[in-house]
């Protein structure tokens, strides 16, 4: 049975994509009219209240987006009409002043507190919506970053202590699980891309990004509380990682690296002399390399999550047509979700590997020896 689905899989992906993309907004309007609330129709913010949407027609696009993007609180489950959420601190910088309060303060019909309004996941000032509020809240993603950082510190410092205590004995437990990965990063990523002589300098960074991305990719697949945040599928996170790679590449670039950018070898002179076409392309290349790193990781992880969530949504979409149809589809969906999750585990590793490998390659290019010429 499973095999038959496997063959159908390529055909069903575009279909799903269509469902995911087309559903979002159209049904929301319909849901409002049947809603028996005291709110006025002008209160558009209420359109996005989960309470209403859940009870009304199911909106797959909105549900997926909510799960994929960052949030000011950590929603764990909805039991009947109660939302089990972890309130997170909201920290705002507005007109030079810091405002800090719990995100649960927004749990009122107007979604406002202290002159700030939470709308579509963004906070702005009530009386002056155009003026920007700098939002430094500890959001779901930030908490997940902090959690995974603490987890990494705990794991790696504890295994480092074991290494320190028994330097030459065989690895044990967690150590033997991670040692092959550490050696893999060292030998197959750093040494082969940067070279024997200079790889050591970049090892701490490469190991940190590898394990940070890998751990967060894996935690992103876990749907329960400490996991489930889409950290590596958040463009700000991947942007920071890519910018770190860019900074390290730039400050470690040797003379040869910059000469190659300004005067690219192996290119006809007329591409350089009257109009400095190649140098411009190369300089753009400095930026596009990390940009591609950023987009690749973000897109891969987010796409994986969207596909899994799409299968989950299928159950509710068919369920809203008829309950038995929902149950029937759920069997298929669960099979696909299991398959996707397995694929995601693979992708978690591959994306961590690719990000680290490409960073290492860029460092290798920046520090290449001139002896070739």
Nearest approach, Cβ of 168 to another protein (angstroms)?
Answer: 5
Judged by CB, which is closer to another protein: 159, or 329? 159
Note whether 143 and 103 are within 8 A (CB): no
Nearest approach, Cβ of 67 to another protein (angstroms)?
Answer: 11
Q: Which of residues 16-75 bind another protein (CB under 8 A)?
A: 65, 68-70
As beta bridge partners, residue 100 has 91
Judged by CB, which is closer to another protein: 121, or 227? 121
Please enumerate in sequence order all residues whose Cβ is within 8 A of that of 60, keeping only pairs 6 or more positions apart, or say none: 19, 20, 23, 24, 310, 313, 316, 317
Nearest approach, Cβ of 205 to another protein (angstroms)?
Answer: 6
CA distance 62 to 84: 19
Q: Does 118 bind another protein (CB under 8 A)?
A: no
The sign of the CA dihedral 261, 350, 310, 49 is negative
Nearest approach, Cβ of 242 to another protein (angstroms)?
Answer: 11
List 85, 141, 249, 351, residue binding another protein (CB under 8 A): 141
As beta bridge partners, residue 85 has 75
Q: Which of residues 278-307 bind another protein (CB under 8 A)?
A: 298, 302
List 115, 200, 285, 292, residue binding another protein (CB under 8 A): 200
Judged by CB, which is closer to another protein: 109, or 180? 180
Nearest approach, Cβ of 163 to another protein (angstroms)?
Answer: 4
Please enumerate in sequence order all residues whose Cβ is within 8 A of that of 360, keeping only pairs 6 or more positions apart, or say none: 189, 190, 193, 194, 199, 202, 206
Cα–chain-centroid distance for residue 47?
Answer: 27
Judged by CB, which is closer to another protein: 278, or 294? 294
Judged by CB, which is closer to another protein: 148, or 333? 148
Q: Which of 206, 213, 223, 286 is nearest to 68 (CA)?
A: 223
List 205, 291, 339, 349, residue binding another protein (CB under 8 A): 205
Q: Does 84 bind another protein (CB under 8 A)?
A: no
Judged by CB, which is closer to another protein: 35, or 162? 162
Cα–chain-centroid distance for residue 307?
Answer: 14
3-state secondary structure of 100: strand
Nearest approach, Cβ of 341 to another protein (angstroms)?
Answer: 21
3-state secondary structure of 309: helix
List 18, 41, 98, 153, residue binding another protein (CB under 8 A): 153
Judged by CB, which is closer to another protein: 94, or 318? 94
Q: Does 130 bind another protein (CB under 8 A)?
A: no
86 backbone dihedrals φ, ψ, rounded to 5°: -100, 115
Nearest approach, Cβ of 132 to another protein (angstroms)?
Answer: 9
Q: Which of residues 89-108 bind another protein (CB under 8 A)?
A: 91
Note whether 120 and 44 are within 8 A (CB): no
Rounded to 5, what percent of the chain is helix, strand, coil? 65, 10, 25
| Token pair in block for residue 49 | 């209240």
CA distance 126 to 132: 11
Nearest approach, Cβ of 162 to another protein (angstroms)?
Answer: 9
Judged by CB, which is closer to another protein: 161, or 370? 161
| Token pair in block for residue 304 | 């994986």
Nearest approach, Cβ of 125 to another protein (angstroms)?
Answer: 16
CA distance 246 to 289: 8
- What string of DSSP letters covers 69-98? S--SEEEEEEETTEEEEEE-EEEEEETTEE
Q: Which of residues 233-262 bind another protein (CB under 8 A)?
A: 234-237, 239-241, 243-244
Q: Does 339 bind another protein (CB under 8 A)?
A: no
> What is the contact surface with another protein in residues (CB under 8 A)?
65, 68-70, 91, 120-122, 134-139, 141-142, 145-146, 149, 152-153, 156-157, 159-161, 163-164, 167-168, 179, 182-183, 186, 200, 203-205, 207-208, 212, 234-237, 239-241, 243-244, 298, 302
């Amino acid at each position: 049975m499973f095999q038959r689905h496997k063959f159908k899989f390529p055909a069903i992906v575009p279909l799903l994509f269509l469902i995911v993309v087309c559903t979002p907004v159209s049904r929301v309007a319909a849901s409002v009219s049947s809603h028996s609330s005291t709110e006025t129709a002008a209160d558009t913010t209420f359109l996005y209240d989960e309470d209403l949407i859940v009870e009304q027609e199911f909106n797959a696009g909105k549900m997926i987006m909510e799960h994929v993007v960052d949030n000011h609180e950590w929603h764990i489950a909805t039991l009947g009409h109660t939302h089990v959420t972890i309130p997170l601190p909201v920290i705002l910088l507005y007109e030079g002043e810091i405002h800090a309060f719990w995100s649960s303060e927004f749990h009122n019909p107007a979604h406002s507190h202290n002159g700030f309004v939470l709308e579509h996941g963004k906070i702005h000032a009530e009386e002056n919506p155009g003026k920007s509020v700098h939002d430094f809240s500890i959001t779901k993603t930030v908490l997940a970053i902090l959690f995974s950082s603490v987890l990494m510190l705990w794991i790696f410092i504890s295994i480092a202590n074991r290494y320190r205590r028994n330097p030459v004995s065989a690895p044990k437990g967690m150590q033997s699980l991670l040692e092959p990965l550490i050696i893999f990063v060292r030998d197959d990523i750093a040494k082969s891309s940067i070279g024997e002589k200079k790889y050591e300098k970049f090892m701490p960074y490469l190991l940190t990004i590898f394990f940070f991305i890998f751990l967060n990719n894996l935690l992103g697949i876990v749907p329960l509380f400490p996991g489930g945040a889409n950290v590596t599928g958040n463009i700000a996170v991947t942007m920071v990682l890519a910018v770190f790679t860019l900074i390290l590449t730039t400050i470690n670039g040797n003379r040869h690296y910059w000469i190659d950018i300004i005067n690219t070898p192996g290119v006809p002179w007329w591409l350089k002399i009257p109009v400095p076409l190649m140098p411009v392309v190369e300089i753009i290349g400095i930026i596009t390399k990390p940009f591609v790193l950023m987009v690749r990781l973000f897109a891969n992880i987010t796409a994986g999550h969207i596909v899994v969530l799409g299968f989950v949504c299928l159950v509710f979409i068919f369920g809203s047509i008829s309950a038995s149809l929902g149950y029937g589809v759920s069997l298929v969906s669960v099979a696909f979700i299991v398959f996707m999750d397995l694929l995601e585990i693979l992708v978690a590793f591959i994306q961590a590997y690719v990000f680290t490998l490409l960073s290492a390659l860029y460092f290798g290019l920046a520090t290449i020896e001139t002896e070739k010429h």
